[in-house]
């Protein structure tokens, strides 16, 4: 994660907790800006996420389809989930890969990490390319209904360009995985 | 936005409002899953966002650097902001471009739209490529301290690949803009 130093920080003068929940907390901070004015910042406190582009020996990526209530529809995404307390991003990626697709990766390479929405959320997604896939022992999350789909990486790139993935981590994972495989021309 | 039909939806059996705020609301829904079990879904209700890759006649993109409290650091991003009520995504993109960079675009082409975090947030970002840039009349938001930076698109692509942008919309905007210009090989 490349932090940049240039502007002075906003100064937090007050902070109130609105909600402490299962996957996220919400707080509202009062900040003093450089110009002396005061503003409020709503901050969703959300743990880090590990996401995986699982690339098999046939050049296909293993994707998951699931209903997303926030999007009110079924979405086709790369496997991902929240990193547990005390778990590394790599271990979280392997665990989510096993839980959602039943596979284990011999090789994991970091493709990117990014804030999903730095104006409001602390959520960072760490995206890995996973290769050398082997069947893993795993049990699925009991509150996720997931269907696994194989998509050739070259097809996935075209889908990303045509706007057929509507999920940030999936667009980024597919495009960077294709770049790493020198598939993008 | 390409919605897929396959899995039955989760059924929302209860919904409670936790917070109604300036940029977002938070609610918690109780859902019944296909397997009959019950679970909770925390949903951040967030308006749509317009983001712009402003590409000038010299092949540079105009980026903005600002402090992001949620990320606790300064980030280099493409211009973006929430779409106002009654405003189209295109009009929001032009307004944010003017407010943040002082430019107006003769041409706007949609590159993508995507959920930033469909497991928890309703936020959708619409990303446009903006060309034919001309000085615009505009006044900046009074609660944003923004520094404008020009970056050659070819450099931005390398920065995206090296993980030097830590913002989802910026990675996606840069990679898809480069593809649209046939800059990616």
The pLDDT score that the predictor gives to residue A57 is: 96
Q: Are B165 and A111 in contact (CB under 8 A)?
A: no
CB neighbourhood size of B73 (10 A): 19
pLDDT digits (tens, 9 = 90+) for A147-171: 999 999 999 999 999 889 999 999 9
B46 to chain A, any CB pair closer than 8 A? The answer is yes
B148 to chain A, any CB pair closer than 8 A? The answer is no
Q: What is the CATH number of domain A47-180?
A: 3.90.79.10
- Residues in chain A with CB shorter than 8 Å from the CB of B42 are 21-24
Give residue limits of the domains in chain B: 11-45, 47-180
CB neighbourhood size of B140 (10 A): 13
- The three-class DSSP label of residue A164 is coil
- Nearest by CB: A44 against B3, B4, B44: B44
Closest chain B residue to A171 measured between Cα atoms?
Answer: B172
Distance (Å, rounded) from C-alpha B107 to C-alpha B54?
10
pLDDT digits (tens, 9 = 90+) for A19-65: 999 999 999 999 998 888 999 999 999 999 999 999 999 999 999 99
Q: Are A185 and A100 in contact (CB under 8 A)?
A: no
The pLDDT score that the predictor gives to residue A147 is: 92
B155 to chain A, any CB pair closer than 8 A? The answer is no
Strand order in the sheet with A60-68: A73-77, A60-68, A147-152
Quick check: B11 pLDDT over 50? yes
The enclosing H or E element of A96 equals helix A89-101
pTM of the model: 0.93
B102: left (phi over 0), alpha (psi -120 to 50) or beta: left
Which ipTM was obtained for this model? 0.92
Contact B18 A22 (CB under 8 A): no
Least confident of A97-106, B35-44, B107-116, B141-150: B141-150
pLDDT digits (tens, 9 = 90+) for A96-145: 999 999 999 999 999 999 999 999 999 999 999 999 999 987 666 656 78
Closest to B69 measured CA to CA, from A23, A10, A160: A10
The pLDDT score that the predictor gives to residue A185 is: 44
The pLDDT score that the predictor gives to residue A141 is: 62
The pLDDT score that the predictor gives to residue B185 is: 44
């Amino acid at each position: 994660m490349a932090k940049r130093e240039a502007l002075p920080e906003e100064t937090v003068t007050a902070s109130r907790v609105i909600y402490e929940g299962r996957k996220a907390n919400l707080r509202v901070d009062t900040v003093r800006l450089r110009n002396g004015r005061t503003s409020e910042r709503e901050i969703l406190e959300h743990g880090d996420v590990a996401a995986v582009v699982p690339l098999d020996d046939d050049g296909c990526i293993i994707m998951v389809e699931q209903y997303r209530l926030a999007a009110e529809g079924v979405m086709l995404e790369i496997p991902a989930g929240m990193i547990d307390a005390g778990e590394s991003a790599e271990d979280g990626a392997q665990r989510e890969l096993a839980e959602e697709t039943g596979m284990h990766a011999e090789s994991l390479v970091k493709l990117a990490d990014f804030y999903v929405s730095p104006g409001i959320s602390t959520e960072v997604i760490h995206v890995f390319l996973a290769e050398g896939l082997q069947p893993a022992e795993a049990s699925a999350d009991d509150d996720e209904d997931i269907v696994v789909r194989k998509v050739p990486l070259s097809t996935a790139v075209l889908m990303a360009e045509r706007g057929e993935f509507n999920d940030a981590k999936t667009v980024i994972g597919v495009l960077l995985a294709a770049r790493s495989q020198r598939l993008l021309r």
